[in-house]
Every structure is written in structure tokens, then in C-alpha cells.
Chain A
Amino acid sequence: MTSSRLHTVALVLSLLVLPACLEDGPAKIAWNDEPRALDDGWEIGAPEDHGFDREKLREAFRPFFSEDELVPAISLLVIRDGVLVAEGYARDLGDVHRKNAIMSATKSVTSLVAGIAIDRASSIPSARSASSSPRRWRAWTSARPGSRFPTCSPCGRASTSPTTTFRWRWPTR
């Protein structure tokens, strides 16, 4: 093989290899922390009206939107007194409508629901006899891998606020 042919082969190989690198794109979208009015029952308010310093609130959001830190969470919401004062989405603004399994967070939500139910003496399963029927409560609150988990929709705006109606959806098979 002549040297010119070898050079040609080397050139073709170089042209193929050099640009052969996938772009390492941003992990997060542009900063967004203003709640959007979606007519979904959520009251939206200004942080200052609910005791927040806006700048300090933004500081709290900084790691969430920083490319230097990878936070797998897709949403960060701040709610006080049942009012949504800050709302950010790191992956996609459309994630406000995304349904996510909440896994072990179920326990936290359910305990809040139970507390509210007991406080109001409502008829949520065995609320009034919770202390005497621990098994029934466990069955109601547990979820194991492989089973279906409760989801929330809109995911970002599902809240534990006691002043807001719960929107947790329990899937059925």
C-alpha cells in the first residue's frame, strides 16, 4: 500500500473519530420559581405576604437549579398556610402534570391524613379506632415493591397542607 493511501485511510479514520462525541447537555432547564395559575384549586401568593424573604427563598432554590449539583428531584414547591408561594421544575415545566409514585413518602402523607381525620373525627377507615386496629392501618398505609403505589396529580402540587383538599389518587388494577 502506498503512503498516500495510508494517509487517506488515516484521514478518514480521524474525521470519523474526532467528532464522535455525544454532547453533554444541561441537566436542568432555566430557572423558574414563580407559581403558575393553573385553575386547579391552589391559592397562589407572594412569598413576602407569608413571612418569607424573597431573596433567601431564591437562595434555597439555587442548588436545585445549579448545574454543579445533581438533584434527582424534578420539582421544588414551597407552601405556607395552604398558599403556594414558590414552585420550580428542574427537568421540564410540563412535570407539573406528571404523575409520580411517591414510594415511602406515602407514610408521611398518610400519617398527616390520619391526623387530620382523627382531629376531625371523620370516617376515613378506622380513624376513630386506629389505636385498637393497628393491622388495618398498616394494610392501608403500606406499599411494597412490585405493588402499585399511590400517585399524585398534579405531582408537583400535591400537598400536605391541612387547609387544602387532598388529591392523592389511589390506583386501581
Chain B
Amino acid sequence: MIARILLSIACLALAWPVQASSSDDDRPNRIGFGLGVPHVQIREELTRRFRWDGFGGLLALGYEHRGAGMRHAASLELPAAWVTNRYDAGGAALALRLDYTLLVPVAELAGGRLWAGGRYRWDHALQYFADWDEEHLYWLSAHELGPAVAWELAVAPTQSLRASLSLPVVALASRPPAERTNKIDDLKSVGFLLGRPHEDMSLTSLHEYVSVEGAVAWTWSFSETWLLQASWVMRYRRHASPLPVQLLENALVTGVAHDF
């Protein structure tokens, strides 16, 4: 049922009449590639109430179709980080994020343009606490849907700033069970890592699941079709069940994009 709703929304979005501006007529599409350094913090109360944190690497791929009337953007992010707690116990935090954002211009604001729309995201965060719990996989996996806004400001003929914010209001989310008595997690299987968190998905909302992402990006067009981009992204996610988990990630990302 949920899949049908998401599919219907995607179809509606793709069928929306996009009115391209004259400047976007020639090159309405943009692809980008980026590398980043995330700082990941985790407080997983299924272990204990202490914090795990550490730095890692991030790979990002993106596509955007731009028109005056609407923007479609899709991106894939693969962050990974090595985390430790205050007792120097180590662990790994991996994630897979796939999202689609639809934005339309809604107002001129403070010299820039304000866009609003919606975002669907699959955020599949996995944690393995090697020195703490060698037996089990921990996760917070969610298919999120909610509003998104962005504000863009041209600061020079070839440079622009963009600030964005998204807050999912409904999600299909999954967490590990409160108690697992056996060594049943097949941690070496990619199929298990992707499949197990999808077995117990439940529909949830802000009363239980909070996810917010804010980003600021600077873009410099160093040629007619190539751009350099640097951004800072902060993501915070919290799920209250079966015991609270909080994930906080701050990432600096830089990359190049090509308009065609």
C-alpha cells in the first residue's frame, strides 16, 4: 500500500508540467560527484547510553533536472565511519542514502529565491560495534517522506549560496529487536545487511521518529558547463523504539558537477 502511494507521488511529480526558463533550455540537466568527510555520532541505547563517534569518508552522486517551474533531484550517498566510545571500544557506522526531491519556486526572499516541495529518502544506517557486541548488527533504516525547502542566493555572477532543510513527517522505519539471544546475524552477507532491516518495517511519524537535515552549499561555475561545489550537511535522526537511538552526522562535502 505504502509502495503504491510512493509510486503514485513519484509518477505525479514526473508528470508535472515543467516550465524551463530560457537559461535552462540548453542545459537543463546536472550530474555531480562528490567526496566528503563525515563526523558521525551515535547514541544507541540498545547497547548503553554512551556516545560513539568518529570520522569517516563519504561518496556522493547526484542528478538534477532544472527548469524555471520545478526541479527534480536524485542523489545517492555512501558514508562510512569508524567510531569509538569513551572506553575506546571500536565500531563501524555505514549508511546508504537514496533520495528524490521535488521543488517548486514559491517566493523571492532576502534577495534570493525560496523553493519548497517534498522529499522521499531511503536512509539505511547500519552499525557494528566490534569491541562491544561482536554478534549483532544494529540499524536505523527508514523510508521517509516529508516537506523540503531551499533558499538560493546568487552572490556573484558565477557563485551562489544555497541553504536547504528537510523534515520527514511520515516514515516506514525499522530497528533491531530489544533482545536477541543468539548469534543469528549473518554479518558477512550483503543480503542480510540490506534485507534484515526491512523485515520489521513499521509506519511511524514524528511522535516516534524524527529526522531532520540541514545543508549549506556554495557553488562556483568555473566554466560554462562545469561547477565546483562545497557544502556542509548536518543530519539528525532519532527513533524511540524499542530503546532510543540518535544519529548525528556533520559532513563537509566537495565535488564537481557538469551541466548538459
Which A residues fall within an 8 A CB radius of B?
1, 9, 13, 16-17, 20-28, 70, 72, 91, 98-101, 103, 145-149, 151
Contact = CB atoms under 8 A, between A and B. Distances in A.
Nearest to B159: A1
Contacts of B153: 1
Contacts of B181: 99-101, 149, 151
Given A25-B50, A70-B87, A20 B234 contact: yes
Contact of A20 (B48, B49, B50, B250): B250
A2 B124 CA distance: 40
A69 B246 CA distance: 24
B250 A101 contact: no
A22 B248 contact: yes
B155 A146 contact: no
B55 interface: no
Contacts of A13: 216, 232
B260 to A, nearest CB: 29
Contacts of B41: 21-22
A72 B183 contact: no
Contacts of B232: 13
21 contacts: A16-B234, A17-B234, A20-B234, A20-B236, A22-B41, A22-B246, A22-B248, A23-B43, A24-B50, A24-B86, A25-B49, A26-B49, A27-B49, A70-B87, A91-B48, A101-B181, A101-B183, A103-B183, A145-B183, A149-B181, A149-B183
Given A13-B232, A100-B181, A101-B181, 20 more contacts: A9-B161, A9-B216, A16-B234, A17-B250, A20-B234, A20-B250, A22-B42, A22-B53, A22-B246, A23-B51, A25-B43, A25-B48, A25-B51, A27-B48, A27-B49, A27-B50, A70-B87, A98-B179, A99-B179, A146-B183
Contacts of B155: 1
A149 B182 contact: yes
A145 B187 CA distance: 12
B192 interface: no
A77 B42 CA distance: 31
How many chain B residues sit at the interface, stated as a range, is 20 to 34
Nearest to A91: B48
A22 B43 contact: yes
Interface in B211-246: 214, 216, 232, 234, 236, 246
Contacts of B89: 70
Interface in B181-227: 181-184, 214, 216
A14 B70 CA distance: 31
Interface string B44-68: 0000111101000000000000000
A94 B123 CA distance: 32
A12 to B, nearest CB: 8
Interface string B134-172: 000000000000000000010110000100000000000
A101 B246 CA distance: 27
B50 A101 contact: no
A72 B132 CA distance: 7
Contacts of A70: 85, 87, 89
Interface in B20-54: 41-43, 48-51, 53
Nearest to B110: A5
Contacts of A146: 183-184
